[in-house]
Structure 1
Amino acid sequence: MTTASITDNQGHKILNSSFLTATPFSYGSGHVNPNAAADPGLVYDLTATDYLNFLCSLGYNSSQLASFQTGYNCPSKPQDIKDLNYPSFTISQLIQSVTVSRTVKNVGSAGTYTATVEEPSGIRVKVEPNSLKFGVGEEKKFMVTFHVDTPSSDYVFGSITWSDGTRYVRSPVAVLTSNI
């Protein structure tokens, strides 16, 4: 996901079926880039338990999920859905600001990655820390704060890209503000 391209093979933005510029809701993360995927640099690592915990936060209970993992029990305090360590960010009903956390794992050589943000229209995005120094196999946590400057009646899109100058690890961002 994080190494996909959001342009077509001629370098133009991906279009939807109406020949309009597509959004992440149309193309997901973009066109697969097999060469980049073979050496992504950073990954958002998830286990089966992470997905089960996510299902608990959606309202499923331990007995409904028992067939997936023997002995699994939903946490007493389910995680917030927005904090699933998934390589994209979707925030719906954003009123003022919200902070989410993610963890990335270095699966390449040691190095320093710096975050670049393409802010969705009307949304201020802050990544902390905005630079991560990794050893081989090391994991680092970062926080992203989304703040509404100008509300919108529809989703607005952007991205967060971590790069060490060679690899580019891009995460789509989708935000819907609320009038409440």
Structure 2
Amino acid sequence: MMRVRLASGSPRRLELLHQLGTEVDVCTSNFAEVGGDNAEKVVAANALGKGRVVAGKLGTEIPVIAADTVVVLEQEILGKPADRSEAAAMLRKLSGRMHRVLTGVAVFYNDRELVEVAETKVWFRSLSQAEILAYTATGEPLDKAGAYGIQGRGAILVEKIEGCYNNVVGLPLTRLYQMMAQIGVRGF
């Protein structure tokens, strides 16, 4: 069984890696995430930063995987909401519109590093105020970029997607698989 280090405390990323039959050591990073206007650069920098902290502490003989996911509406980056009120405001913005989910993925192995950004387009159906309030009351939106979880109750908010479903959950597995091969990891 392949063993990796995940530089993230995300239960969704851990679950996705377990789905592949991977043994995962969770090694959360104390990296202070950066912000900015260019979402692609932000997620790439955050994934690299998180991974470099863990790789620097523990080495790269065991592959280290780091990721950062954001929701982008036009040019606005929507991270994790601070509270239910902010979650409701995000969902009102996303209602009836298309947005992009970007995940920066960084892989570190044998002193090599590779970072890429995956994009998935997501269309929300039009949501009523009652639906938004009912969903935010579940608490599910509070630890998720863009205030929704496509793998949970938030699935009913999404009309369609174009691209990788797992990217919206938080880790584009196909892209990760290709990156692992590219950086020299065998048997992933």
What TM-score do the two structures reach when normalised by structure 1? Answer: 0.22
Structure with higher Rg: it is 1
Structure ranking higher in helix proportion: 2
What TM-score do the two structures reach when normalised by structure 2? Answer: 0.22
